[in-house]
Amino acid sequence: MTEVVKIYQLVENLSLEVVYGDEESLNRTIKT
């Protein structure tokens, strides 16, 4: 269940980064 939450949060973060188009932040999100 914890992993599902992590994945959901990661996808949510990626969606936000795509909306704002912040590549630096996007790269940071992927590495985490």
Residues 11-31 have pLDDT tens digits of: 888 777 666 666 666 667 666
pLDDT on residue 13: 80
- pLDDT mean over 1-16: 85
C-beta separation of 29 from 12 below 8 A: no
pLDDT classification of 3: cutoffs 50, 70, 90: very high
pLDDT on residue 6: 92
Joined tokens for residue 27: 């790269």
pLDDT on residue 12: 86
More confident residue, 32 or 12: 12
User: For the chain, what are the domain ranges?
Assistant: 2-31
- Residue 3: C-alpha distances to residues 6, 18, 29, 30 (Å): 5, 22, 16, 16
